[in-house]
Amino acid sequence: MKAKEIRELSNDDLKVKLKEGRAELFNLRFQMATSQLDNTARIKTVKKDIARVLTEIRAREDAVQLDVAS
């Protein structure tokens, strides 16, 4: 998922994406432990998507804090 796509999501959608990403990462790690994972690069992609979502959530929180402080 691209950063531009993430910025277009609502706060609720971001929380859903974060939850889905963490669940997928858990499942991928479980598959890797049981030697069922075919595409190991998917783990890296999911981690990056989670980081992008967390970054956008944090940026929105900071923007709210700046508005309140002003």
User: What domains does the chain contain, in order, with CATH numbers?
Assistant: 3-69 (1.10.287.310)
- Cα gap 70→64, rounded to integer Å: 10
Taking only the tens place, the pLDDT of each residue in 7-62 is 999 999 999 999 999 999 999 999 999 999 999 999 999 999 999 999 999 999 99
Task: Calculate the dihedral angle through the C-alpha atoms of 58, 12, 47, 1, rounding to the nearest 10 degrees.
Answer: -110
Residue 70 has pLDDT above 80, yes or no: no
The pLDDT assigned to 68 comes to 85
The pLDDT assigned to 66 comes to 86
